[in-house]
Amino acid sequence: MLNRNEALNLLREYKAILEGHFLLTSGRHSGVYVEKFRLLEHPDLTARFAEPIAEHFREANVDLVVGPLTGGVLVAHEVGKLLGKPIAFPERSRDGMEWRRGFQVTEGQRVLIIEDVITTGKTIGEIKEAVTRTGAEIVGIGCMICRGKIDLNPTPFAVVSMNLASYPEDRCPLCRRNLPLEKRGSRAEKNDNHAATNNEHPPSNEVSAESNSQS
Ligand SMILES: [Zn+2]
């Protein structure tokens, strides 16, 4: 089964870790960008990242695996397959996330929330709200990649945790070096079909896998 070092090597090998000078969704700048679709475009790789997540939650008596569109649900699908459980996804409406398409998320169900990359935890917060509104119980949060300091309850399990820094524009060392600024994510490039959320990142040499779980 994939361990954190192998996972980190795959991120590099498949060029999911980009180095340069990036404008994040949050407006902050960073020297590293995680382009998770370099993994998710390969179903076999998504499956490999799903394995440690499924193993971590195997004894959690999960009834339903939930992940956000677009990338999260791809990982949730693989985790659901390994756990032998159904999946569901909420969709954004004006009033937050809502359950459409007849998905049954009901009181007392034990729900595992899965994401591809957790950056600020904002999306996870919205999903948690959509789950708890139904009376279902959240038994865990799992992801492929997690940025270090995310305050989420329950604490997410990540295959790879990274300690990535980002900077406000007026204190960005990359701006000072006049490196060209690149926008990534769905709002920036027509070719990018997913909001690659605001991965917050630092100089490349600080990229490291800290642990197999995360904080
Ligand atoms: Zn900058």
In a domain, 170, yes or no: yes
Domain holding 92: CATH number?
3.40.50.2020
Spell out the long-range contacts of 18-23 with Cβ–Cβ below 8 A and sequence spacing 24 or more. 18/184, 19/204, 20/179, 20/180, 20/182, 21/172, 21/174, 21/175, 21/179, 21/180, 21/181, 21/182, 22/181, 22/182, 22/183, 22/184, 22/201, 23/181, 23/182, 23/183, 23/184, 23/188
Domain count, the chain: 1
In a domain, 133, yes or no: yes
pTM over 0.85: no
Q: How far is the CA of 158 from the centre of ligand 1 (A)?
A: 28
Q: How far is the CA of 22 from the centre of ligand 1 (A)?
A: 7
Task: Please state, in angstroms and rounded to a whole number, the distance separating the CA atoms of residues 90 and 67.
Answer: 8
In a domain, 213, yes or no: no
Domain that holds residue 137: 4-206
pLDDT digit of tens for each residue in the chain (215 aa)?
A: 999 999 999 999 999 999 999 998 778 899 999 999 999 999 999 999 999 999 999 999 999 999 999 999 999 999 999 999 999 999 999 888 999 999 999 999 999 999 999 888 889 999 999 999 999 999 999 999 987 678 899 999 999 999 888 899 999 999 999 999 998 865 554 444 344 444 444 444 444 433 333 22
In a domain, 14, yes or no: yes
Q: How far is the CA of 176 from the centre of ligand 1 (A)?
A: 7
In a domain, 214, yes or no: no
In a domain, 211, yes or no: no
Q: How far is the CA of 24 from the centre of ligand 1 (A)?
A: 10
In a domain, 46, yes or no: yes
In a domain, 117, yes or no: yes
